[in-house]
Every structure is written in structure tokens, then in C-alpha cells.
Amino acid sequence: MKKTIVVLLTCLIAYQWYVSRTPALTQSISLKEVSVHQGDLVLINKQTKIQQDPRNLSAVAKQVSETIVEPDVLLEDHVATALHRMMQRAKKVGVDHFRINSAYRSGKLQQALYEEYGADFALPAGHSEHQTGLSVDIGSTRGKMKQSKEGRWLAKHAHQFGFIIRYPKGKESVTGISFEPWHIRYVGLPHSTKMYEENWVLEEYLNYLKQEHTYQIQTAGHTYFVQYTQHRTLKIPVTPVFDVSGTNTKGFIVTSRLHK
């Protein structure tokens, strides 16, 4: 009898905790006009090919003027803005020897690199994140990134600005790519924070969402509620601030910023 009561109390406490962590889902949104192949969380890798080109590319040099930027480096506009904020923060703490080497590449350029350097150094057209306008290669003028102050700072702080180290050390069996401390990918908040805290790469994060469907997190002074769905309509918390991203496979990720 006592064991039964303990089990019931445990279940009740767990239920109350779950309810307290799940906001009321009373706002209906339609995803009928949203492409599953667009957004900050699209998966591009050796198995999954890019399906749509970037929508709003802008010159990185115009925004990141205090950093050395190679000519004609382009990123999605909101990613370039986030990169600028990150470079400014780094400079304030004395980390200011970055070099922006490469960002968006057309399919034609990516294929040329693949044919010139081979599979050990480049991915074929359609399978490189550089074609999304969401990824950027960042170097240091003081040496190799894995040994430089710039590389160490990015590894520790990039997630605060929505970026992740896309191909970290120890995750080669998941990503299929060797450690690249210079390859930075934008996924946005709070996703970058969750991945950093759990030591997940994008593949692992998307698998987590497909299994759990929802989670709530606090970061950068805001509370976020994240949902995964394969449906074209969804109930979300009442909020004017939410973002939708396709995964490039099946499903969408809806991120709501809650009023707290």
C-alpha cells in the first residue's frame, strides 16, 4: 500500500512539474506556406542535400567592418548581423585577431572546389553548408584556430550569439567530417545554447526534437518554448514573437519567445 502511495505521489509531482514547464498552447498557426527546406535549422550533410538557395544575402564586410574580411564574402543578412555582434563582443575582451575567410558559395564554386581538392577537403555541390548562407569559416591572424585565442573564444562563446562549432572534435562519427574549429554555423537562439549545454551537433539535436517534440529553456534573458511538428497546423503559446524553420528532411521547428 505504501509503495502504491509513493508511486502515485511521484507521478503527481512529475505531472505538476511537466504542466508548470509547458505553457498553454492556445494560439493556432498555419505552416502551409512554409518550406521544409528553408530556415536556420535546415540539415545539410553528406546524406541530405540542399534544396533551396539563400533568400537574402548581404556583404559581410559592410557589417563586420572591424574584422579582416576576404573580398565578396556573403551571408544571410540576419546571420551577418549576428556575426557582427559576436565580433564586437570578442573585441571588447581583447580577442580581435579574426579573419573571415569564406561564407556563402554557389553550387558551381562548391563543385569546383570538390573537383580540385577532393573529398578529403571539400564536399560536392549540394552537400555543403556554405551553400545555405548560414555558415562561415573564421580564422586567426595569430595561428591555427585550434591553438589560437580566437579559436578558444569561439568554442566557448559562439553559442551566445546563435552560432555553433558545426564539426567539433569527438563528433566525427556523427557528422562524417573531421574536426573543423573554424567552421561556424548559425542556428539561432535558443538552439545554439541547448546544443552547447548538451554537447550535441545538429544531427543529434534534430533527433532529440523528433523524439521529445517540445522543451523549454531560458537563455540570454528570455524564456523560449521549442516545438517540433510534421503537421501543417500547430498550437503554440500566445506570443507575437515566434520563428519557424524547416529541417530539410521532415518537419518544422517552431520557437516561441514567452512573456516572463
Shared-domain flag, residues 231 and 138 = no
For 227, the enclosing helix (H) or strand (E) is strand 222-229
Q: Which of 151, 186, 221 is the last residue before a domain boundary?
A: 186
* Mean pLDDT for the stretch of residues 32-52: 97
Decide if 73 is inside a domain.
Answer: yes
Shared-domain flag, residues 176 and 253 = no
* Phi, psi (degrees; rounded to nearest 5) at 217: -150, 150
Closest CA to 217 of 207, 227, 204: 227
Whole-model pTM above 0.85?
Answer: yes
Q: Which residue has the higher pLDDT, 66 or 145?
A: 145
Decide if 9 is inside a domain.
Answer: no
pLDDT digits (tens, 9 = 90+) for 123-176: 999 999 999 999 999 999 999 999 999 999 999 999 999 999 999 999 999 999
pLDDT, position 1 = 57
Contact indicator for 73, 102 with CB cutoff of 8 Å? yes
Decide if 2 is inside a domain.
Answer: no
Shared-domain flag, residues 133 and 179 = yes
Shared-domain flag, residues 181 and 106 = yes
Q: pLDDT grade, residue 5 (50/70/90)?
A: low
Shared-domain flag, residues 29 and 131 = no
Decide if 180 is inside a domain.
Answer: yes
Q: pLDDT grade, residue 18 (50/70/90)?
A: very low
Decide if 247 is inside a domain.
Answer: yes
pLDDT digits (tens, 9 = 90+) for 77-131: 999 999 999 999 999 999 999 999 999 999 999 999 999 999 888 899 999 999 9
- What are the distances in angstroms from CA 68 to CA 35, 95, 96, 160, 180? 35, 13, 10, 22, 20
Q: What's the structural domain count of the chain?
A: 2
Mean pLDDT across the chain = 92
* Phi, psi (degrees; rounded to nearest 5) at 241: -115, 100
Shared-domain flag, residues 53 and 141 = yes
Instruction: Find the domain containing 85 and state its range.
Output: 46-186
Decide if 4 is inside a domain.
Answer: no
Shared-domain flag, residues 172 and 211 = no
Cell of 164: 555553433
Taking the C-alpha atoms of residue 243 and residue 39, their distance in angstroms, rounded to an integer, is 9
Q: Which of 186, 206, 225 is the last residue before a domain boundary?
A: 186
Shared-domain flag, residues 58 and 157 = yes
Taking the C-alpha atoms of residue 233 and residue 49, their distance in angstroms, rounded to an integer, is 26
Mind telling me the catalytic residues? Answer: 180
* Mean pLDDT for the stretch of residues 56-71: 88
pLDDT, position 188 = 98
At 32, which CATH number?
A: 3.30.200.180
